[in-house]
Structure 1
Amino acid sequence: MRRFATTDLHGCLHTFRYLVEEALRLTTADVLYLLGDYVNKGPDSRGVLDYLMHLQASGYQVHCLRGNHDQALLDAARHRWRWDWLGPRGRLPTLRSFGVARLSDIPARYLEWLAALPYEIELPDFVLVHAGYDFALPAAEMRRDHHAMLNTKKFVFDASRLDGRRLLHGHVPTPTAQVCARAATHPGALGLDTGCVYRHNSELAHLTALNLDTWELTTVANREPGYAIGKR
């Protein structure tokens, strides 16, 4: 059994499929952890969700966490909030991928799948979360602060607050070379978001998976057909 983690797919279906089927050659004996943000920004949010559901239904051990973009889509669709913070470049591709004009028209099965996603996954040697934790809070409160777990961009890591386990997260796009260099040191906390969706940025534009046992990184360059997105 091999264990992998990756994150921040953002509608990049072709790249994710290549990672799973060609680069990792995932089998049903392996375990793959996804750290959130499957939707928005990129070209095929629905396709990513369909593929994740297909893998799970086909017996693959694929475990998915909730990200801030998944939460935003869920909230906007169910509560009909105004959803302007992403702008049209982030919003319209998502709507087009579902074939709807309003987020409230997204089919219920996708919203139900998103609503069932956990905020964290605990393993014997790692804790997985989308963004991180507010380590300044009391331990029990820290693990209930869902806003920080989905949205924080800075934290001071304290392994003692996680019973000595390492932390894996996504959320903050980081140059691929920087993530590779940091992973080589086997740090206590590691961010795996190498900004796959930002296809114009040569320092990003990769989807990165970590082997949790060997610390080997597998990186795949963005393989999507052309789509409009702002540079980061």
Structure 2
Amino acid sequence: MATYAIGDIQGCLEPLQCLLQEIKFNPSKDKLWLAGDLINRGPDTLETLRFLYRLRDSITIVLGNHDLHFIAVYYGQRKRGKNDTLDELLRAPDCADLVYWLRQQKLVHHDPLLNFTMVHAGIPPQWDLSEALAHAREVENVLQTDKVEIFLAGMYGNLPNRWNDNLAGVDRLRLITNYFTRMRFCSADGELELQTKESVDAAPIGFAPWFSFAERKTWDQRILFGHWAALEGRTDVENVYALDTGCVWGGSLTALRLEDERWFACDCLA
């Protein structure tokens, strides 16, 4: 039995199947961890989600910003973007079942036996692991109830951009979601900077990659994340693993075997 963590698939089904063949994935005994952004932008969004749904007993998912965007579009709380590849999925007869399944997924996953934590974008420096898991559950719980549309209607936006324990309602949920699904750069006390998407060298004054702060409260945790293709799989932090290697942009799709930290990859021809 082995456990493999895979970065952003974004509807690139052929590279995913190539990667599963490369690692000799056996769903009866192996496990997949998927770091979010399962769909959108790539050529096979519908069939990718159907493929993963068939493997659902063997996979663990954290939601990414593109997955949440799809759910918001489905509920009519957001218009499709010009680069979205969601049309076929939205027309599919099993779309409602796939949406319901995605709504049951996590924002942060921690496995104490493997000693790994997975999130789509990152964990802000001011939260320890228990705080991160508790805040993730706040959003997960809303996604799974009939309040989901209220949350989705207010999910978009860059403010508030700094945590305060007194935050409440949609503002609180929006910031939690932005930390876990959109964050790249922040300040040492967790102020978000959401405009810059380039590499580490592009950090605005006063901001740095979320994982780079020496005082980060999860410094002792092994963290897997996707979202940031410009890192090209490198963080230069020993226990933080960047899984998004830009498959949908013509890079590769990457997997990390958690038991021995061996890397695997398949090229993606965009």
TM-score range, shorter-chain basis?
Answer: 0.7 to 0.9
Residues matched between the structures, number:
201
Unaligned runs of 5+ in 2: 136-175, 186-209
Equivalence for 1:115: 103
Cα distance in 1 for partners of 2:13, 2:242 equals 21
8 Å contact 1:8–1:37 — kept in the other structure?
A: yes
Alpha-carbon spacing, 1:220–1:80, altered in 2? closer, same or farther (3 Å): same
Cα distance in 1 for partners of 2:259, 2:38 equals 24
Q: 2:62 aligns with which of 60, 65, 82?
A: 65
Q: 2:248 aligns with which of 191, 197, 213?
A: 197
Q: CA RMSD in A?
A: 2.6
Matches within 5 A, 1:28-177: 28-56=28-56, 61-84=58-81, 88=82, 90-91=83-84, 93-95=85-87, 97-98=88-89, 100=91, 107-124=95-112, 125-137=115-127, 142-143=132-133, 144=135, 145-154=176-185, 155-156=210-211, 161-162=217-218, 164-174=220-230, 176=232
Measured against aligned partners, the alpha-carbon deviations of 1:72-92 in whole angstroms (never above 9, x if no partner) come to: 1101211332233xxx2x22x
Equivalence for 1:10: 10
Alpha-carbon spacing, 1:220–1:99, altered in 2? closer, same or farther (3 Å): same
Task: Please give the TM-score of this superposition, normalised by the length of structure 1.
Answer: 0.77
CA shift for structure 1 position 146: 2.6
CA shift for structure 1 position 15: 0.8
Cα distance in 2 for partners of 1:14, 1:8 equals 13
CA shift for structure 1 position 141: 5.0
Task: Please give the TM-score of this superposition, normalised by the length of structure 2.
Answer: 0.67
Measured against aligned partners, the alpha-carbon deviations of 1:107-148 in whole angstroms (never above 9, x if no partner) come to: 211111111111111012111100001113576654412320
8 Å contact 1:186–1:215 — kept in the other structure?
A: no
Q: Identity of aligned pairs, percent?
A: 24
Unaligned runs of 5+ in 1: 200-204, 227-232
Cα distance in 1 for partners of 2:76, 2:130 equals 29
